[in-house]
Amino acid sequence: MNHVCEKVNIKMKNFIRLLIGSGENCADIRYATGISTPDDFIFYEFNDTRCAILSALEIDRAKNNAKPGVTVLPESSFDSIKRLDILLAVAQKHHCRTFAVPEKFPLGLADKMRAAGVIVTVAEEDFFPQREFKTPDEVKLITAAQRAAEAGFARAVDILKNSSVDGNFISWQGKTLTSEILRAEIDSEILRNNMLPTGTICAGGIQGAQPHNAGSGPLKANSPIVMDIFPRSPESGYWGDLTRTVVKGKAPDIVRRAYDAVLEAREYAKTLIKPGSYGASIHCAAEGILEKHHFFTGSDERGQFGFFHGLGHGVGLEIHESPRLSPRAKNALRGGEVVTVEPGLYYPEWGGIRLEDLMYLPLDGSPALCLTAAPDFLEIS
Amino acid sequence: MNHVCEKVNIKMKNFIRLLIGSGENCADIRYATGISTPDDFIFYEFNDTRCAILSALEIDRAKNNAKPGVTVLPESSFDSIKRLDILLAVAQKHHCRTFAVPEKFPLGLADKMRAAGVIVTVAEEDFFPQREFKTPDEVKLITAAQRAAEAGFARAVDILKNSSVDGNFISWQGKTLTSEILRAEIDSEILRNNMLPTGTICAGGIQGAQPHNAGSGPLKANSPIVMDIFPRSPESGYWGDLTRTVVKGKAPDIVRRAYDAVLEAREYAKTLIKPGSYGASIHCAAEGILEKHHFFTGSDERGQFGFFHGLGHGVGLEIHESPRLSPRAKNALRGGEVVTVEPGLYYPEWGGIRLEDLMYLPLDGSPALCLTAAPDFLEIS
């Protein structure tokens, strides 16, 4: 069974590096080719050859968008357009019967390739480890998406400023303001900034105690509203990521104290974004600040409470990518990373507070830069 | 090597059926669990046990949304939260060392499982073949998304009606109308209908000759504009899919003739959506109508022209799913399918025409229903 779990060092060159994925959902293939597609296609790299193989439907657009050095071929240039047959033809053409593929390569195809006599090995490291370390151009593309997230947040703040309190609820333009209405307004602003909204969270009150609850129904005054806004550029594929939590009216004391603790944790963690810092240590430092403020983490019969997610994650062609800032993160920051710093506190009694900034640690050793320009405040009167 | 390519009939019960994916990107796991997540989680089925295993971050929301009969467990209820360790614990718990997984199961994990002594086999058919055959409830959810697509199209028509022709270009509210502006208006309307826009195409003139070109820049009068609108429900995960092509002003003769041919091809193909019809035959029938109108398919040094994509595809929890209506489709329709019927003609000289309706073939043998309510017309004066 040795061939099954055989591993390769992907810096070696005696194999064909192979990816299969859609430009929209597979960040590696978009990174390698610059091509964005809804459907899967083949990319391979062998010595100086870098080749994308696509269906008729995509071929012209792919040729327009392919990165320099990437050859675009139609499936129809092969004798058979079956994926297995194409890959066997590629192996024959380059006189190489070993393919190195990423961890997520589809098992069904790999099994067929192995049955046909080629070796398929899973690359030991990330397929493009350099994706973790952003070029200045990539930072610009991420920042552009971040600006759209901020525009969406500014729109939400504007609506909340122009709302009134009607009993327990928030009223805007004569109607009860709901999560759905607020989200649609944020998302429309993102669209006007030529970015795509992708599932904006507007979770009020106790809905905010579930970090990924998108929010629904009427929004209450004097209660926290978590807004997590992560637009993506349809052209570049890069993401932005921003979270703010606000209260229309007056924040209850516990909410104000949680807000202050989370803000202090975030600002302290941001000072630790530097070369040599370990993701796990930064996470623990933030947790320590929250505990200093007497906010503890645990679970009971109602579920989890406190700070029970990772402090942050890389952002690039994936919204969640390497590196992680979490108890499980193993590596130290080196420079080039773009990461979120987003501590949060969640309690089923009153809801959640999450405050998220986006940080860039330059390659040249200079101090980390905050890519987020959105202001911090809790109450909107 | 026999174990590597071993296959199983997934109706057998002496194995654990296993999925790993995110609710947002893996339709099978959303279908099985009802849970929508941005990150991957584990689902398995063994005899009467159906179990989703998720991280702390998702657990409360997952419990709220899980389909009846699905047990939701936190990763932390296992001794180790490493995926491989969890799966080995599952195998031990059920005294079963064989897992059946879908074609796209991640190879890296499968290799590790095999190295640890469990058998991982790729299911021979679709993991949930019943996904192809929609229940009345699913048809309602698809239709709801389709209504949002139609609202987006109606908004575009309204804008074009209220536009003027300024030289070669279309002018709206005192500015040149661009693909970007028109798309943002369509997408905002989709958001107001509580659906997510996902990459709306507004491709004018020769950009429309590339079926998946999203469109950019000023839109010309007297030239076709292809609008392909495919919103998704953030709650249910089901999609709609609608394409119309219009001209602001007067359509050139060739565009009018192409439009008439595509419309006739679509309407004829729709009459063939019935039990026993083969997807390949329906595609060929549509192509025949286009050829009758002297529109031919081929390629030259500028790329492809004519009708060079499949006539249609299933729509459900994936925007492109089984069955296909294309030359490669092997099966006949049986009843229960929701499919697009979308012939198109594309010529680099003048652009493209695509007209797409969504059809539902009921399970009970009654005639196919058109789920699309958008009107057909070419010119907007």
Res A3 pLDDT > 50: no
CA-CA distance, B194 to A200, in Å (whole number)?
A: 12
So what's the pLDDT on residue A61?
A: 84
Confidence class for position B13, pLDDT limits 50, 70, 90: low
CA-CA distance, B174 to A210, in Å (whole number)?
A: 45
SS3 sequence of chain A:
CHHHHCEECCCCCCCEEEEEECCCCCHHHHHHHCCCCCCCEEEEEECCEEEEEECHHHHHHHHHHCCCCEEEEEHHHCCCCCHHHHHHHHHHHCCCCEEEECCCCEHHHHHHHHHCCCEEEEECCCCCHHHHCCCHHHHHHHHHHHHHHHHHHHHHHHHHHCCEEECCEEEECCEECEHHHHHHHHHHHHHHCCCECCCCEEEEHHHHHCCCCCCCCECECCCEEEEEECCECCCCCCECCEEEEEEECCCCHHHHHHHHHHHHHHHHHHHCCCCCCEHHHHHHHHHHHHHHCCCCCEEECCEEEECCCCCEEECCCCCCEEEEECCCCCCECCCCCEEEECCEEEECCCEEEECEEEEECCCCCCCCEECCCCCCCCEEC
So what's the pLDDT on residue A57?
A: 80
* Residue of B2, B3, B4 best to disrupt the A interface, most CBs of A under 10 A: B4
Identify the DSSP state of B372. Answer: -
- In chain B, the residue whose alpha carbon lies closest to the alpha carbon of A110 is B107
Q: How many CA atoms lie within 13 A of A225 on its CB side?
A: 33
Angle, helices A83-93 vs A107-115, to 10°: value is: 50
Q: What are phi and psi of B241, to 5 degrees?
A: -160, 120
Q: What are phi and psi of B24, to 5 degrees?
A: -75, -35
pLDDT in tens, A37-76: 888 999 999 999 999 999 888 888 899 899 999 999 999 9
Task: Name the average pLDDT for chain B.
Answer: 93
Greater pLDDT, B326 or B212: B326
Confidence class for position A375, pLDDT limits 50, 70, 90: very high
CA-CA distance, A2 to A6, in Å (whole number)?
A: 6
A111, A198, A210: residue with CB nearest B4: A111
CA-CA distance, A52 to A64, in Å (whole number)?
A: 13
Res B352 pLDDT > 50: yes
Cβ B108–A102 below 8 Å, yes or no? Answer: yes
* Residue of A4, A192, A349 best to disrupt the B interface, most CBs of B under 10 A: A4
Looking at A268-277, A299-308, A355-364, B355-364, which range is the least confident one?
A: A299-308
Distance of alpha carbon A3 from the chain centroid: 34
So what's the pLDDT on residue B319?
A: 94
Interface of B with A in 71-100 (CB under 8 A): none
B124 CB within 8 Å of a chain A CB: no
Cβ atoms A273, A358 nearer than 8 A: no
B312's enclosing H/E stretch is: strand B312-314
Q: Reduced to 3 states, what is the DSSP secondary structure of residue B283?
A: helix
Provide the residue count of chain A.
381
So what's the pLDDT on residue B9?
A: 46
A110 CB within 8 Å of a chain B CB: yes
Confidence class for position A2, pLDDT limits 50, 70, 90: very low
B213 CB within 8 Å of a chain A CB: yes
* Exposure string for B53-91, b = 16+ CB within 10 A, e = fewer: bbbbbbbbbbbebbeeebebbbbeebeeeebeebbbebb
pLDDT in tens, A242-276: 999 999 999 999 999 999 999 999 999 999 999 99
So what's the pLDDT on residue A1?
A: 33
Burial class (CB in 10 A: 0-12, 13-18, 19+), A302: exposed
Q: What are phi and psi of A129, to 5 degrees?
A: -55, -25
- In chain A, the residue whose alpha carbon lies closest to the alpha carbon of B180 is A194
CA-CA distance, A228 to A78, in Å (whole number)?
A: 46
Q: Return all residues near A137 (Cβ < 8 A) that are at least 6 apart.
A: none
pTM: 0.88
So what's the pLDDT on residue A168?
A: 95
**ipTM of the prediction:** 0.85
So what's the pLDDT on residue A13?
A: 63
Q: What percent of chain A has pLDDT over 90?
A: 86
